[in-house]
Chains A and B, each alone.
Chain A
Amino acid sequence: MKVSIYRYNPETDKEPYMKEYDIDTQGKDLMVLDVLNLVKEKDPTLGYRRSCREGVCGSDGMNMNGKNGLACITALSTVAPGVLEGRKPLILRPLPGLPVVRDLVVDMTMFYNQYEKVQPYLQNDTPAPAIERLQSPEEREKIDGLYECILCACCSTSCPSFWWNPEKFLGPAALLQSYRFLADSRDLATDERLSKLDDPFSLFRCRGIMNCVSVCPKGLNPTRAIGHIREMLLERGV
């Protein structure tokens, strides 16, 4: 099959280019990461991140035939019609909107900065009990669909609002984590967290485009979380 991969090495290339590879997949419905590993055996200069190869570490977010996702859990048959059969090329590009370090590797600094801004850790200064803090199954259920985020950046880098204002708009991933702590019955910093979000950009730059929802490889819904934060801010306002 034909694989077309975005290549850029800052030491040798003036500008990025697409490089074509012919890879024998023996007709198997491999994961995109398996295909990349085959390419790398032929061309060790290709750079990409990978670790768990099972969709839980979030290393190999990339753009595959126009859509962000994790290479390790995206089968060729699901990339686009015709890719598996070799009628169409597999086209791999780095996640959009972040600076490219090399090939498919992007500089995630901006993404991580936004994550850190939401104070992504439990805040509770009351003395801890000798055992765990109690939490009912119902309270615990409120953080389902939030804590599972793997920080792969597929969502934020598919978000036009994040492309425009990556420094000021926190982006779907960071906001999902913000809500993860707002929704946790054990966290006591609700007011402080909300105050930090109460400006025209941090949260309200979300326009409900929902690209984040359509690309999240874990099936999470940042738009809904953002909606919940909006409601909390509104309630606090009145």
Chain B
Amino acid sequence: MSIRTVTFDAIVVGGGGAGMRASLQMAQSGFKTALISKVFPTRSHTVSAQGGITCAIASSDPNDDWRWHMYDTVKGSDYIGDQDAIEYMCSVGPEAVFELEHMGLPFSRTEEGRIYQRPFGGQSKNFGEGGQAARTCAAADRTGHALLHALYQQNLKNGTQFYSEWYAIDLVTVGDKVAGVIACCIETGEVVFFKAKATVFATGGAGRIYSSTTNALINTGDGIGMALRTGVPVQDIEMWQFHPTGIAGAGVLVTEGCRGEGGYLVNKDGERFMERYAPNAKDLAGRDVVARAMMMEILDGRGCGPNGDHVYLKMDHLGEEVLHSRLPGICELSITFGHADPVKEPIPVVPTCHYMMGGVPTNIHGQALRLSGGHEGEAKQIDGLFAVGEVACVSVHGANRLGGNSLLDLVVFGRAAGLYIEDALRQGMEQAEPTADDLDRATARMRRWEDSTGGESVAELRNALQSTMQNAFGVFRKGDLMQDGVKKVAELRERIANGHLEDKSKAFNTARIEALELDNLLEVAEATAIAAEGRNESRGAHSRYDFPDRDDENWLCHSIFDPNTKKLGKRDVNFKPKTVDTFQPKVRTY
């Protein structure tokens, strides 16, 4: 099969915050940079981020210190976040946030004219000793939208070459090296080889492996799928965050900022139940803690509504003015999807799949790592491949991400990867040269769908996959249920391999895209299932009935899922920050 080739210094796959921050960095410095995105960039899921970007910019508290933010993040991660990476994110954060402001991001303001910061869950002053901090920089409750548009605008200004509505199918590899990607133009169906010295994955999360999720319909784990298919492992992929406040029934998110601004959760008796579970932080405990408490209330029969299957988020006491000025988007969403005006009545909420803490393991430069299990020393950089944002596991979130840390993660590491690649390009990065066979390999799965003549439909298979994951790998997990889930996912692999793409047309064929996305959902689901079943403890978001306690002796480590063997290995967590003392694991209470 002959295939057109386009050549760049660097290509970025994914047009969300991480991807556009990386492309901006390289385009600003004059490198020939392409950004491939399956949607027009401002339709990427970063646009849905609401509450803000957590960073010690010392606006709300002039004495704020990035080390306090670091402490919170390490604790929030339940101690399997890498401390060198967290140190980098928290210390470089202010610079990266100020850059966003200089780009034009319309942050809300304080009376002093500085960026407005609000309290978020898991935040403290003075290493947990100084009470609640207010560290999340906000543009009302549309911070992701404001951030994504500002980045798109700067990319326009700096001449990034956009390939909008192009879908990346697979990595092109030459031995162990990455030479670019094969991508398909959605509008015309044309398949093209994007050749580059550096390929940056910024493909976001994969919440659509679950039937109920706050994630956009496009969050299908395309980067994870592409990585696993070429033998690149994933790390901590069992760690899925369930956000406490998804609107019941709809799955749409309402920000933690609702609780940051003073809202709180109540059960059917009107009790503010978080006081029992987290006496100090209450509703602003870590997300994993709050989500579990909510599920306990529901399972104990204290849920709200006719089926007792959700709880209420109460905000009416905050007053119309605060709600309309600080949380205008939430008011809209709640009325549209929850049929409740928060000014007058509580919002029905339930923990909902929200964020993938795991992903492609990388170092702080975004370089993807190949590991064979075992220990840190065996990590090896993959030439030509980088990953940033939710698809990556650098790892700053460990077993539980703090609210507001995802936006910081994506700008800090998008930027870091851009900086590193610029430097490497200046010093002469090598371009791997694929053979026809290498290209063939990367188009194989597309040809499989194109040649399909019968079998189950994509929608049918996707529904089956999503309900399997929802039932067996939710907030609370159990060994036998998960073993059953692993089996079902293995069966689904067979079924999907025989799935049918009926529509073979070229022009804007969304059926083809959905089929290709299904392959990726499957890869993420399988890795999640095997890793979750294998981690025999409870830590952060991974909570097991059969192993209810944290087991630091055996599991104070990353899990590594190897797609070649489909086995779970372990990798050491980094406990060696460069400028501060190690934060030692402690019992995690809020």
Contact = CB atoms under 8 A, between A and B. Distances in A.
A176 B109 CA distance: 22
A201 to B, nearest CB: 22
Given A44-B459, A47-B510, A101-B187, A147 B106 contact: yes
A108 B40 contact: yes
Nearest to A33: B217
Interface in B499-534: 502-503, 505-511, 514
B142 interface: yes
Contact of A121 (B57, B101, B154): B154
A148 B336 contact: no
Contact of A140 (B57, B109, B508): B109
A192 interface: no
Interface string B105-149: 011111111110000000000000000000000010010011001
Contacts of B432: none
A121 B157 contact: yes
A59 B102 contact: no
Contacts of B457: 41, 44
Contact of A134 (B103, B113, B337): B113
A216 B264 CA distance: 32
Nearest to A59: B43
A73 B113 CA distance: 35
Interface in A37-54: 40-41, 44-54
A150 B145 contact: yes
B318 interface: no
A58 interface: yes
Given A50-B217, A134-B112, A136-B109, A147 B507 contact: no
Contacts of B252: 53-54
Given A11-B506, A56-B142, A132-B101, 18 more contacts: A11-B507, A12-B505, A52-B43, A53-B252, A58-B43, A121-B104, A121-B153, A121-B157, A122-B102, A122-B103, A122-B104, A133-B101, A134-B113, A137-B108, A143-B106, A184-B104, A184-B106, A187-B104
Chain A, interface residues (CB within 8 Å), range: 35 or more
Given A47-B510, A121-B154, A132 B107 contact: yes
A59 B48 CA distance: 13
Nearest to A48: B510
A56 B145 contact: yes
Contacts, number: 151
Given A12-B505, A50-B217, A51-B217, A128 B102 contact: yes
Contact of B57 (A52, A124, A131): A131
A9 B109 CA distance: 49
Interface in A177-231: 181, 184, 186-187
Interface string B197-228: 00000000000000000001110000000000
22 contacts: A11-B506, A44-B459, A45-B502, A45-B503, A51-B218, A52-B43, A52-B48, A53-B252, A75-B336, A121-B150, A122-B102, A130-B98, A132-B57, A132-B97, A132-B114, A137-B108, A140-B108, A148-B142, A150-B145, A151-B40, A186-B104, A187-B104
Interface in B25-73: 39-40, 42-45, 47-48, 57
A14 B11 CA distance: 38
Which applies to chain A's interface (DSSP): helix, strand, loop or mixed? loop
Contacts of A108: 40
A230 to B, nearest CB: 23
A10 B507 contact: yes
A150 B111 CA distance: 28
Contacts of B45: 51-52, 57
A139 B106 CA distance: 11
B188 to A, nearest CB: 9
B98 A102 contact: no
A217 to B, nearest CB: 10
Chain B: interface residue count, which band? 35 or more
B506 A53 contact: no
A86 interface: no
A124 B153 CA distance: 14
A76 interface: no
The interface centre, meaning the residue of A9, A112, A119, A131 with most chain B CB atoms within 10 A of its CB, is A131
B153 A55 contact: no
Given A51-B216, A53-B217, A147-B149, A44 B503 contact: yes
Contacts of A187: 104
B562 to A, nearest CB: 32
Interface string A107-144: 01000100010011110100010111111110110010
A73 B252 CA distance: 11
A134 B520 CA distance: 45
A137 B108 CA distance: 7
A105 interface: yes
5 interchain residue pairs of minimum CB distance: A122-B104, A134-B113, A121-B153, A132-B101, A44-B511
A125 to B, nearest CB: 11
Contacts of A139: 109
B113 A101 contact: no
Nearest to A149: B149
A131 B43 CA distance: 30
A58 B459 contact: no
B458 A116 contact: no
A92 to B, nearest CB: 15
A41 to B, nearest CB: 4
